[in-house]
Structure 1
Amino acid sequence: MANQKVLSGSFFSYRVFQNLILGYQKGQTQRFFTDRLFREFRFYFGIGSYSNRFVLILCVLLFVSGCSFYRRIFPKEDAFIKSLNLPEWVLESNIKLRVLSGLQDVPNPEDSLPEDEIATFENKARRILATSPQAMKDLFEATGCIDGSRLAGIRANRITEREEDVWYGICQNGKEDAIIFRLFQMGNTDLYRKYDKETASAWEEARKLAANNPDRAVRLANQVIELEPAHPAARKLLGQLYLKGGYCKGAIRNYRIYLRVMPLAGDKWKIHEQLSQKCGGFLKPEPKREEVELPDADPDAM
């Protein structure tokens, strides 16, 4: 009988981990998956030795610790993020939705992408959306290393299974750095050429017109970020011009992306001070909205 209890407890542990794997592979929702796990837990809880019961409880606690609900109650402090010493509003995210557009080769139509899809942090590195290899090279060289030092050179790059292009660089202080580039339409050579023919020239013109023709400069800078959403110089320029014109939401969004790409920029706290003075009410986090699953469009109904 004792052996039966031990085997039953071991079988439960095996089934828990088996369901963990199968559930994630099948894309089951968090709520359905949790309910299924606890049904099995109640069924098997009275069976097994005390040591197995301890293991079972530990398994459930580890699973629950991965739930978003748990993370909201007990947020884990990220030492890396803390070391960047960023204002809180930089790490917040605006709720934006992609607009309907027939432009299939434009990654960020009307600057509609959420900020987290454009630039964020992952595995102690920057994770940035980009559209062409030349844009990646220019961005790495322009922004330098994440610790604020200049980039001495690009060492190598590697395509991952997630179709991300990781670029590795050597900093002038001797340290190594990397940027994880999330690719938009890998292998789209037409889009690659657009960067050389349109994006680079549009940025140069926007930079020259910023002082004397700010309206034209804003239009050109927006063309740049439609094709290269994380372009740091264009984001900074738009932040400056929007703040000067009193458009607080636009200024915060562009400065937010700029400081995610260049978290140790020398003007970081000057920007924070200016925004706090002119747009303090807009720096508060947006209220979280419940996610609504939209039904699939019916072509016959259109």
Structure 2
Amino acid sequence: MLVIVANQKVLSRSFFSLSIRFVCSLSLILTLFECNIYRRIFPKQDLFLKSLNLPDWVLDSSIKLRVLSGLQDLPNPEDSLPEDEIATFENRARRILATSPQAMKDLFEATGCIDGSKLAGIRANRITEREEDVWFAICQNGKEDAIIFRLFQMGNSDLYRKYEKETVPAWEEARKLVTTNPDKAVRLANQVIELEPAHPAARKLLGNLYLKGGYCKGSVRNYRLYLRVMPLAGDKWKIHDQLQEKCPDFLKPEPKKEEVDLPDAEED
């Protein structure tokens, strides 16, 4: 009888030990499974992007538009470039398409630092292996900032001259006509963004006038690019409220569509 009792105790300990292992293993499996589901539902947020406190629609991108004009000498014919190619964020900095060194300098000085501080001065620039021109600057709050500029055609002196001869004068005229002749102001602002796609002031002007005219898609696109270039603009939540009121359906991410490659035209 004593032997039997002892065996029962041994068996009970063994069973208890196996039960503990089974429960621990099951708990571990369930925890990993739940974590995986959690990561899918709540993906890890980029702390840098979160710090910019941007409305969600600013970080979305519209479906790539088709180039209709076929004019290859323009960086952005008919405003057809995908938004991520014009302005986005990379390595805790803005990554912006530009056409000339003067355009890059003007844009940096006009937009200031990414944290909202004004620019104290441009410190240096560096050409990367990806043929990007990274500009470094000092902010008035003592911090450093950088913009990664992606040049449309590095060394294209014709485009460099176009910026000063065509883009700057077109913008100066456009901003003067906003109240007196908004239609012409829109035409001129579109000329500006064909040559300088990330021009923040032209994007803001178009976003405002398109919204007044009821053209929601155009307004959201232009405001999106304006806020990517100036993420801490003081009017960003005012813009969000206006779009939420007048264009709520256009603030939702667009469904992805398959891109169809058209066959090349046969030569005569």
Same fold (TM over 0.5): yes
1:170 correspondence with 2:157: no
User: Unpaired segments of 5 or more residues in structure 2?
Assistant: 1-38
1:76 correspondence with 2:50: no
> Counterparts of 1:282 and 1:72 in 2: how far apart (Å)?
25
In structure 1, the partner of 2:248 is: 280
1:110 correspondence with 2:81: no
Bigger CA radius of gyration:
2
What's the TM-score, normalizing by structure 1?
0.73
> Counterparts of 2:234 and 2:193 in 1: how far apart (Å)?
22
Q: 2:229 aligns with which of 257, 261, 270?
A: 261
> Counterparts of 2:201 and 2:172 in 1: how far apart (Å)?
10
Are the aligned partners of 1:130 and 1:229 in contact in 2 as well (CA < 8 Å)? yes
Amino acid of the structure 2 residue aligned with 1:212: T
The correspondence of residues 148-227 of structure 1 with structure 2, limited to 5 A, is 148-227=116-195
1:297 correspondence with 2:259: no
> Counterparts of 2:129 and 2:181 in 1: how far apart (Å)?
45
Per the TM alignment, residue 101 of structure 1 is displaced from its structure 2 partner at its CA by 3.1
1:242 correspondence with 2:214: no
Amino acid of the structure 2 residue aligned with 1:87: P
> Counterparts of 1:297 and 1:89 in 2: how far apart (Å)?
35
Amino acid of the structure 2 residue aligned with 1:225: I
Are the aligned partners of 1:98 and 1:109 in contact in 2 as well (CA < 8 Å)? no
Which aligned runs of 4 or more in structure 1 are off by greater than 6 angstroms? 71-74
> Counterparts of 1:258 and 1:176 in 2: how far apart (Å)?
22
1:130 correspondence with 2:98: yes
Secondary structure of 2:154's counterpart equals: coil
Q: Percent identity?
A: 84
Are the aligned partners of 2:70 and 2:77 in contact in 1 as well (CA < 8 Å)? no
Number of paired residues? 231
Per the TM alignment, residue 103 of structure 1 is displaced from its structure 2 partner at its CA by 2.1
Structure with more relative contact order (C-alpha pairs < 8 Å, separation 6 or more): 2
Per the TM alignment, residue 98 of structure 1 is displaced from its structure 2 partner at its CA by 3.6
In structure 2, the partner of 1:141 is: 109
User: Unpaired segments of 5 or more residues in structure 1?
Assistant: 1-70
Are the aligned partners of 2:96 and 2:198 in contact in 1 as well (CA < 8 Å)? yes
Per the TM alignment, residue 289 of structure 1 is displaced from its structure 2 partner at its CA by 1.7
**RMSD in angstroms over aligned alpha carbons?**
1.7
Per the TM alignment, residue 297 of structure 1 is displaced from its structure 2 partner at its CA by 1.7
Are the aligned partners of 2:198 and 2:226 in contact in 1 as well (CA < 8 Å)? yes
Per the TM alignment, residue 102 of structure 1 is displaced from its structure 2 partner at its CA by 3.9
Per the TM alignment, residue 298 of structure 1 is displaced from its structure 2 partner at its CA by 5.3
Instruction: Write the deviation string for residues 3-38 of structure 1: whole angstroms up to 9, x where unpaired.
Output: xxxxxxxxxxxxxxxxxxxxxxxxxxxxxxxxxxxx
Are the aligned partners of 1:125 and 1:180 in contact in 2 as well (CA < 8 Å)? yes
Instruction: Write the deviation string for residues 178-231 of structure 1: whole angstroms up to 9, x where unpaired.
Output: 000011011000110000000000000000000010000000000000000000
1:101 correspondence with 2:69: yes
Secondary structure of 2:142's counterpart equals: coil
> Counterparts of 2:135 and 2:69 in 1: how far apart (Å)?
31
Instruction: Write the deviation string for residues 83-107 of structure 1: whole angstroms up to 9, x where unpaired.
Output: 1000000001011324143422201
What's the TM-score, normalizing by structure 2?
0.83
Are the aligned partners of 2:136 and 2:144 in contact in 1 as well (CA < 8 Å)? yes
Are the aligned partners of 1:97 and 1:112 in contact in 2 as well (CA < 8 Å)? yes
> Counterparts of 1:179 and 1:109 in 2: how far apart (Å)?
24
Range that drifts further, 125-134 or 88-97 = 88-97
Are the aligned partners of 2:68 and 2:78 in contact in 1 as well (CA < 8 Å)? no
Are the aligned partners of 2:69 and 2:78 in contact in 1 as well (CA < 8 Å)? no
